[in-house]
Amino acid sequence: MKKLVILTLTLALSVSVFVCRQAFAESVAPWNVRFDVEYGGDTFRYDLSENVCGLESQAEQRLFWHGAKQKRKLYRELVQMGLPTDAIYDYILPGFGKVADHFAYVCRNKIDAVVQFGKNGFTYRKSQDGVEINVKKLFETALSSCGKTLRISLPITTYKACTAEELKQYTLCRGTFSTSYASGSANRCHNVERAAAAVNGVTVGVGETFSFNATVGERTEANGYKASKVIMDGNYADGVGGGVCQVSTTLYNALLLAGFVPKAVQHSLVSSYVKPGFDAMVSYGTADLTFVNDTDHPVYIAAETRRKQLTFTVYGEANPFRIVRESVETRDKFAVNYIVDKNKYPELVYTDQTKVVVGGSDGVKTKSYLNYYLGDKLVNRKLIRTNSYKRVDAVVARGYTERGDALPEN
């Protein structure tokens, strides 16, 4: 009898332990994957047991009722097979894609800032960092839930965009130069301002060649240019587009100070608005001003005409040097030859009444240098050109009699 009681108690205890274990297994379900994903106060729950309905026949193959260790092993095997990751995630955890779909609003494309340059200078399009859900990290973390609800902060990956501030490092002033055209005629001033406006706002890409003639176009009346004095065959003459060479020369010097050595053609006579050896004559179809952007970033050219002063500024990546121009010259002073011609200049009566018929110009030989400084230290002196300018003697008409003398009869 005693043995029967002990056996009965043992059986009852065994049944009780089995029932407790079964209840624990049903409540904890160590095979199950259940987690809450949180982002900015938004929570989304995933529960494997709620997503396997209708897939029971595949349960063993897809390891639905197996724990984290087996699921991770299967995951590694499928990855090694080269299968698409999204398909692997859904194979092991059906409906897993709904998590990323719920938080799709978090994602955004990376947008780099863009610099735009034109007639009115620089503008910068704002940047936007890219954001992407790190689905791989979310999946691998989710496999650790082991039947207990896991709380996961939505893992995201941020892709930093290039900002406007970063771009501004490559839109710095490299060099600037100004000349005055205040003494020019109305037509000459018009030509200077028209040509400068054509160059203003130009961007020269990396490796590109800038051409003054291609940018400004042919200097004709049809293109809006007017007649003014030009240097032609070593003398001053009337021609359409007079003054445009001052624009090319001003730009040439700005480019030199910006660290470039453009290809330029000298005038036959020295110019009044720049040092000898630093002029740049242009003539459509025959003489051009060109340079190659050999920096690692675009070069931007701005022109301003204000109060009869022309200024070119060249922008781009930082210029490591302070550049100073130097002209070493020898001069052959022009002479002044006076003429008297009553018929041609009847308005000139007295000897103190004069009229310049031909302007004089010194004959000049020059060597042009660029001096490169780091701080106050000269680190390089570079000869960039040698030039020889024609001497032209002035011709001045004057009257034929001294004041106080009787005028001769005609």
- The predicted model scores a pTM of 0.78
Hey, what are 387's tokens? 């030039």
Confidence (pLDDT) at 5: 36
Confidence (pLDDT) at 235: 57
| Amino acid found at 247 | V
Q: Which of 251, 242, 245, 248 is nearest to 188 (CA)?
A: 242
Hey, what are 24's tokens? 């624990």
Angle, vertex CA 13, rays to CA 10 and CA 16, nearest 5: 150
* pLDDT tens-digit profile, the chain (410 residues): 444 433 443 344 343 333 333 443 444 588 999 999 999 999 999 999 999 999 999 999 999 999 999 999 999 999 999 999 999 999 999 999 999 999 999 999 999 999 999 999 999 999 999 999 999 999 999 999 988 899 999 999 999 999 999 999 999 999 999 999 999 999 999 999 999 999 999 999 999 999 999 999 999 999 999 987 776 655 566 778 899 999 999 999 999 999 999 999 999 999 999 999 999 999 999 999 999 999 999 999 999 999 999 999 999 999 999 999 999 999 999 999 999 999 999 999 999 999 999 889 999 999 999 999 999 999 999 999 999 999 999 999 999 998 876 666 65
| Amino acid found at 239 | G
Confidence (pLDDT) at 237: 65
């970033």: which residue's tokens?
A: 297
Find the Cα–Cα–Cα–Cα dihedral 50, 56, 62, 64, rounded to 10°: 40
Confidence (pLDDT) at 408: 65
Q: Which of 388, 353, 348, 354 is nearest to 368 (CA)?
A: 388
Angle, vertex CA 107, rays to CA 93 and CA 166, nearest 5: 140
How deeply is 404 buried, as exposed, middle or buried, from its count of CB atoms within 10 A (0-12, 13-18, 19+)?
exposed
**Other beta carbons within 10 Å of 145:** 21
Query: Strand order in 42-47's β-sheet?
Result: 42-47, 34-39, 150-153
Hey, what are 132's tokens? 């992407």
Angle, vertex CA 225, rays to CA 266 and CA 290, nearest 5: 35
Q: Is 223 helix (H, G, I), strand (E, B) or coil?
A: helix
**Other beta carbons within 10 Å of 222:** 7
